[in-house]
Amino acid sequence: MNNYLAWSRREIMNALIQRQILIPGIESMSRTHCRIALEEADDRRSFHLMQLPKEVRLMVYEAALSAEDVFVVRDSSKPALLSVSKQVQQEASEIFFRVNRFEFRIDHGYVSPSCLGPRTQLCSVELQWLVNIGPENVANIRHLSFAHYDSWSTTITTQMDLSCLDASNCIQIRRKICKCPQACENRCRQSLTEKLNDALSDTEYRDEDGNQMKEDGIREHGQYRAAKLRKTIADLRTSFGRFRELCGTGKKVKPSVEGIKLLTLAAFLHCH
């Protein structure tokens, strides 16, 4: 809506004078001509971001670059703000990579039980993305997600915050899409500690045929799940320990490509 339409000729002229917009013969111009002159001045008006103090610019960058959703590495493009100028790119890149969560996908094609260990590699798309953004930006990453496609309808996502890696509180989100036309989506968000507590407090469990298990069977199944989860937590702690040795910890953490490869393995262990 154009607010100038409701302004009087005198209000429009005062605005032109206050903004030091000099137009020859303005006194004899109609209200419409004055309004058009003010609108054209608005179109030419520019805001000089780089004239703001740096601390204010950083606040602007964070507000503009913080995303609610994760950036799926293989699907996302670089925000346009990072291409404005070399100085803006240098100042804003650190914030962009620090405040957002980036998602890598674990595919059966490049991570499998037979290749656990030093040979485990990121897939070429994610690896190339890390190479392209450069080691300085990789070092600024603080929030990662690893999505593993357990089946055609189920995705298991592991979330990690690199400045405070904690195996027992590592978050897992299981997303299942049913076969109905509406593709209903169910989500389950749990930490390993919550899953362990659930396993230890199981009061009802059904077998593959949907039959209610007896109390002894429930207890045995819960103990099996708990033992498996404890091993997963122990394996994650080992992987996280190696990451800390390589990349540091807390506010001083500086991730590297090799460190993120270790976390890829940790995420795979988390899914299994």
pLDDT band at 137 (very low <50, low <70, confident <90, very high): very high
Delimit the domains of the chain by residue range.
3-44, 100-271
The alpha carbons of the chain give a radius of gyration, in whole angstroms, of 28
Query: Which of 254, 63, 64, 246 lies closest to 140 in space, CA to CA?
Result: 254
For β-strands 101-106 and 71-72, DSSP reports them as: parallel
DSSP H helical ranges for 139-256: 192-200, 215-247
Q: What's the pTM value of the predicted model, to 2 decimals?
A: 0.70
Contact by Cβ (8 Å): 204, 212: yes
| DSSP helix/strand/coil, 177 | strand
pLDDT tens digits, residue range 66-118? Answer: 988 888 887 667 888 998 889 999 999 999 999 999 998 876 544 444 444 43
Per-residue pLDDT band for 26 (boundaries 50, 70, 90) equals: confident
Q: Which tops the pLDDT comparison, 270 or 167?
A: 167
pLDDT value for 116: 44
DSSP 8-state symbol, 128: H
